């Protein structure tokens, strides 16, 4: 996970424990959005690396 995402998730965890039910729900949903964004970026970066290093592109 990217460091900046990991850091904000920790900050949101702290807020979560102090929040009421409604804010907890929003913080939880926010964390899930960031985790999903991080996963997509990781997968796309992997796809990009894989494509760049694919032998079929070496001879173009």
Q: Which residues bind another protein (CB under 8 A)?
A: 4-5, 8, 11-12, 14-15, 18-19, 21-26, 28-30, 33-34, 36-38, 40-41, 44-45, 47-48, 51-52
The tokens for 22 are: 């409604």
CB of 31 to another protein, least distance (A): 9
How far is residue 22's CA from residue 44's CA, in Å, rounded to a whole number?
33
Please, which residue, 21 or 59, has the CB nearer to another protein?
A: 21
Measured CA distances, 2 to 9, 12, 39 (Å)? 11, 16, 10
Smallest distance, another protein to C-beta of residue 10, A = 10
């Amino acid at each position: 996970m990217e460091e900046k995402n990991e850091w904000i998730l920790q900050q949101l965890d702290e807020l979560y424990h102090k929040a009421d039910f409604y804010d907890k729900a929003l913080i939880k949903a926010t964390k899930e959005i960031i985790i999903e964004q991080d996963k997509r970026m990781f997968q796309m970066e992997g796809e990009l690396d894989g494509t760049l290093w694919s032998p079929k592109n070496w001879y173009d």
